[in-house]
Amino acid sequence: MRRGGKCYVIAAIAAMYVTYLKEPVFGMWCIFATSNLIFGKLSPKQRLFNYFLLLNSFIWISIYIYRCFFIDLSFINPNAHTYASFVSKFSDLSIRIFDVEPIMYLLLVIAIIRGSLLLMKKANYNIFSDAPLFAGVGYAFAYVLLNQGSNHYFFPTVVMGLSTVGVGLFECAKYTKILIVSASVVASIFSFNTSIQRITEIQKHRSRDPLIFSRIIDEVRRGKNVIYVTERMKDILNIDSREIDQMKFRRWQIFLDYYWGGKFPIIKTADYSKINKDSVVILSDETYSSSDFKKISEHLNASKLTLSQSFKDMKTMVFRAD
């Protein structure tokens, strides 16, 4: 009993730590704990642990709301989408994500079937397969709601779904063994392949990017000024482009603040006359593709600034003097 108590404490600390690594994790714990509390036959310690997961999630979302709505209002999006545009984007992104991670089709179907059977009380709840399944699928759809379609976001869902696939194969083997095994193996191999490729690519960027940030900081210390160039607001008709540009600027600000050790002196502007030979210019792929880039390029050429780096993961470009 004493050993079991230590395991729950370690699990609680790990769950609390993971919650603060990525925003949708709090929702994953909510689904995980709620499904266990509703359908599972839990011991007192198991029930207490699941209540802790809910409490931990409530604390996190409270801190997050306070941080975003009362401390830093730049996180608030004033340009709400219409219901029709939201449904359209949700549908399109869901299909694209599931095409990238084909095992998601299998996990979603199993989740719907298992959820239906449990609600109709025609199946027994399995704490080791059902809870990770529901939590994993919910975690994936959180990124759909956030309009984040890169497949590395869904790798945790794939991992959490493996136990469910295993249990499903075991239960269904006597009926459609060859079909299910073949489909699962093919989907798993392809899904793991694409996910691992993406994770490897991100790791490569993470080892290279600090060098680029350090170089920019060195240039500022030598008297250069860093400018994040945006489209002119009156010319922007696409609300999404404006929101993405703001998000990318925030990302640059956060990274540069971290390596600078304080508030980094980066200027966000649509006044292209500020571009000069002493500038390091950063602009997003959306700005580069916009009609404004013709005007921007004139100032870049006049200041003899050329493309130095292209950040594939951040989808931005850096222009500086040779």
Domain membership flag for residue 51: yes
Domain membership flag for residue 208: no
* pLDDT tens for each residue of the chain, 322 residues long: 445 678 889 999 999 999 988 888 999 999 999 999 999 989 899 999 999 999 999 999 998 888 877 766 555 544 444 445 555 555 565 656 666 667 777 788 888 888 888 898 888 898 888 999 999 889 988 887 776 766 677 778 888 887 777 776 666 655 555 555 666 665 555 555 556 666 676 677 677 778 888 888 998 998 899 999 887 754 444 545 566 677 788 888 888 898 898 899 988 888 888 898 889 999 888 788 877 888 888 899 998 988 888 777 677 888 988 7
Does 228 lie in the same domain as 85? no
Rounded to whole angstroms, what are the CA distances from 93 to 89, 141, 150? 6, 10, 10
Does 103 lie in the same domain as 181? yes
User: In the prediction, which pLDDT does 191 show?
Assistant: 57
Query: Helices 2-19 and 25-39: crossing angle, nearest 10°?
Result: 140
Taking alpha carbons only, the member of 49, 42, 60 closest to residue 6 is 49
Residue pair 227/276 in contact (Cβ under 8 Å)? The answer is: no
Which residues neighbour 27 within 8 Å (Cβ) at sequence distance 6 or greater? 57, 138, 139, 142
Does 145 lie in the same domain as 294? no
Taking alpha carbons only, the member of 228, 39, 237, 26 closest to residue 125 is 39
Residue pair 160/133 in contact (Cβ under 8 Å)? The answer is: yes
Does 80 lie in the same domain as 21? yes
User: Residue 9, class by beta-carbon neighbours within 10 Å (0-12 exposed, 13-18 middle, 19+ buried)?
Assistant: exposed
Does 40 lie in the same domain as 109? yes
Does 142 lie in the same domain as 39? yes
**Alpha helix positions (H), the chain:** 2-19, 25-39, 44-66, 83-100, 103-119, 130-145, 155-221, 239-260, 285-288, 293-302
Does 168 lie in the same domain as 90? yes
- Report helix, strand or coil for 305: strand
Domain membership flag for residue 73: yes
Domain membership flag for residue 207: no
Domain membership flag for residue 213: no
Does 135 lie in the same domain as 11? yes
Which residues neighbour 200 within 8 Å (Cβ) at sequence distance 6 or greater? none
Residue finishing a domain among 145, 171, 201: 201
Domain membership flag for residue 293: yes
CA distance 214 to 210: 6
Residue-range definition of the domain harbouring residue 276: 223-321
Q: Per the structure, how many domains does the chain have? A: 2
User: In the prediction, which pLDDT does 49 show?
Assistant: 94
Domain membership flag for residue 83: yes
**Alpha helix positions (H), 222-318:** 239-260, 285-288, 293-302
45: left (phi over 0), alpha (psi -120 to 50) or beta: alpha
User: In the prediction, which pLDDT does 236 show?
Assistant: 46
**The pTM of the whole model exceeds 0.75:** no
Does 264 lie in the same domain as 189? no
CATH of residue 237: 3.40.190
User: In the prediction, which pLDDT does 55 show?
Assistant: 96
Does 107 lie in the same domain as 71? yes
User: In the prediction, which pLDDT does 190 show?
Assistant: 57
User: In the prediction, which pLDDT does 234 show?
Assistant: 46
Does 148 lie in the same domain as 277? no
Does 229 lie in the same domain as 303? yes
CA distance 184 to 171: 14
- Report helix, strand or coil for 314: coil
User: In the prediction, which pLDDT does 140 show?
Assistant: 85
Domain membership flag for residue 210: no
